[in-house]
Amino acid sequence: MKKTNKSVHVTFRLTEDEYAPFAKAIAQLDISKSEFFRMLTLNRIENYQPDLRQQPDYKRCLFLMNKTSNNLNQIAHRLNLDHNKGIISSSLYERALNTLINIRDLLQGALK
């Protein structure tokens, strides 16, 4: 397939306030200004809705929650083994499981 050179240069100016929403969208899409405005003017972007799941904070939060979830599963597994062996009492076992369930519910609620 033959590559088409983009030889026509189009320029326009915006105020800081006019450019601010575009800057945010450009950052979220992680594309160049040129590519963004080309897509916008050629109707390849109609109603831009940013994907919040691509935000660095969301990704970091998801990573930490995944790690926490793995640790909680390990703790629950160990509690179950110790309870079945009779090492810990039923009341301590139930309190620990209830605490783990509460933590799980809080983590699930944070992602919604």
pTM for this predicted structure: 0.42
- For residue 6, tell me if it sits in a domain: no
Return per-residue pLDDT of the chain as tens, 112 residues: 567 788 888 888 889 988 888 888 888 888 888 888 888 887 765 566 666 666 667 778 888 888 888 888 888 888 889 889 999 888 888 888 888 888 888 877 776 6
- Which range marks the domain in which residue 82 is found? 53-110
Are residues 42 and 57 both part of a single domain? no
Q: How many domains does the chain have?
A: 2
Are residues 105 and 66 both part of a single domain? yes
In degrees and rounded to multiples of 5, residue 49 shows phi and psi of -125, 110
C-beta separation of 111 from 65 below 8 A: yes
- For residue 93, tell me if it sits in a domain: yes
Are residues 45 and 68 both part of a single domain? no
Whole-number Å distance between alpha carbons of 58 and 42:
31
- For residue 28, tell me if it sits in a domain: yes
